[in-house]
Structure 1
Amino acid sequence: MEQKSVNKTNKNSYTFIFSIVMVIVVGTVLAFAATSLQPRQYENARQEKMQNILATVGIETDRAGAEALYRQHIVEEIVLDSNGDVREGVEAFDVDLAKELKREPLDQNFPLYIAEVDGGTYYILPLRGAGLWNAIFGYISLQDDVNTVKGVVFDHLGETPGLGAEITKEWFRERFTDEKIFDGSGNLVGISVVKGNPSTSKDDNRVDAISGATITTDGVSDMIAERLQHYLPYFESQTDMNVSNN
């Protein structure tokens, strides 16, 4: 009787072994790619951070030129504790605000960048809070009276395009320029993002909100007020203003 030959490639064991080999090969390639790209990704993140810090004081640059301008204009990086005193042994640029916010305020590190541009001194603070879908974050710079805003930069992880994501746009950021963070009585109140705010005054601690993005813009208001409050002890030591904490 004639025996039929069996095609080994049709066996289930062949398919199983082939799948295992492919998983190993693909996994190895992806792991190698991730490891190889990690230094470049880290460097891109560093340069983007420098770009954002510089943008708050009106210096726009590409990634390639960010570090040189950062070294030129950021004259001091310090980390404060909750009392407004300088905390030694911690690098401001390395502080991860997402991790800091998971700690108690008394244990947090508060980075501060001091810039000099065209003869003026500016204090730059990192910000982080909650938007509609995920975290929002950025930087705010203050003039040497530690009251008047020089500029802001905002970003997000998942806000809605055309609505909450508009916080990144220059037209929204420009609304904060020259706004005050202290009210007329010297109380630190931050800047409220208010829907339908018709005022063009720079002394009312308010800017107009983005239509249809109430939760995101409320998050901007909250993160500015919350983060600034932790720097109040330092502000009091740097200014002759009669500030108080209500």
Structure 2
Amino acid sequence: MASSNDSIQKTIIVALSLCLVCSIFVAAAAVGLKPIQNANKDLDRKRNILSAAGMLVPGKSIDEVFQTVETRIVNLQTGVFATEAEIKAAGINPATYDQKAAAKNPQLSVALSGENDPASIKRRANFSAIYLVKSGDDIDRIILPVHGYGLWSTMYGFMALKNDFNTVIGFGFYSQGETPGLGGEVDNPNWKALWKGKEVYDDQGEAVLQLAKGGVDSSDPNAIHKVDGLSGATLTSRGVTNLVQYWLGEEGFGPFLAKLRSEGAQ
């Protein structure tokens, strides 16, 4: 009996020791790999920004091309570039600013609900990073982060505009969990290509760019503001329309872009 008890004790001790050793190795690996994971995450962010702007260059590294991109912080509450004092007070590093995390912080965001939240994001960060490509002192194109809920997931992406701050250069999502073959077609290059040349705003300056159920009728006088909807994915299509109109509208980048249009690309 004693030997049996000793055997059980030894088994438990060995098992616990093995668990402890494994946990130490896993923790060490997690800590050691974190810089690499962060670097890969940053590289992926840059790739998606360049992709939306049509700036991926074969034979050139992502970091090399991204040197032509200027990261700025916009105060979404005032609709202008954030001041150095505002950036410092908010504890923001433009190069590493995590807008998703900021939206979860009540001190750095505002709560949304009902008709004020068509994109179903619940909270909107007070500040957003945006990305500028310049030609001399003038803005050549601008890339804006957008997100909103589809059918199953929050979709995160970037929209690039020409320096009229109205015409789409490119649009795409880098994170989404919609139904493959249906809402998941937001990742289809052919569908993403349909956005190029479309216009966000009507003559009154209202964000009206939307997905058209059944496809765009070329004879429609408003076709310039419409993109083919996703076949069989009504709720995802509605989600895309909602997030585009929200982020390019009055509660998002609308006032900021309106100022740029009125002042010229400076």
1:122 shift after superposition: 0.5
Q: Residue 231 in 1 paired to residue 231 in 2?
A: no
SS in 2 for 1:142: strand
Aligned residue identity for 2:261 = T
Report how many aligned residue pairs link the two structures: 235
SS in 2 for 1:50: helix
Moved more, 34-43 or 231-240: 231-240
Moved more, 59-68 or 47-56: 59-68
Moved more, 57-66 or 177-186: 57-66
Contact 2:71–2:94 (Cα < 8 Å) also in 1:
no
Contact 1:79–1:91 (Cα < 8 Å) also in 2:
no
Aligned residue identity for 1:137 = Y
Counterpart CA distance in 1 for 2:94 and 2:150 is 25
Q: Residue 137 in 1 paired to residue 156 in 2?
A: yes
1:149-192: CA deviation from partner (whole Å, max 9, x where unpaired): 01112133422222222212211111111111102333222x21
The correspondence of residues 72-83 of structure 1 with structure 2, limited to 5 A, is: 73-83=68-78
Contact 2:54–2:170 (Cα < 8 Å) also in 1:
yes
Q: RMSD in angstroms over aligned alpha carbons?
A: 2.9
Counterpart CA distance in 1 for 2:195 and 2:19 is 52
Q: Measured at CA, do residues 67 and 136 of structure 1 come closer, stay the same or move farther in structure 2, by a change above 3 Å?
A: same
Structure 2 partner of 1:114: 132
Aligned residue identity for 2:133 = A
Aligned residue identity for 1:239 = R
Structure 2 partner of 1:66: 62
1:127 to 143, 146, 154: 146
Q: Which runs of 4+ in 1 moved over 3 A?
A: 4-9, 61-64, 90-93, 116-120, 200-204
Q: Flag the structure with larger Rg.
A: 1
2:94 to 92, 107, 111: 92
Counterpart CA distance in 1 for 2:8 and 2:2 is 16
Q: Measured at CA, do residues 5 and 31 of structure 1 come closer, stay the same or move farther in structure 2, by a change above 3 Å?
A: closer
Structure 2 partner of 1:215: 235
1:104 to 104, 110, 115: 110
Counterpart CA distance in 2 for 1:165 and 1:114 is 29
Structure 1 partner of 2:53: 57
Structure 1 partner of 2:210: 192
SS in 2 for 1:92: coil
Structure 2 partner of 1:45: 41
Q: Measured at CA, do residues 97 and 221 of structure 1 come closer, stay the same or move farther in structure 2, by a change above 3 Å?
A: farther
Aligned residue identity for 1:214 = T
1:238 shift after superposition: 1.4
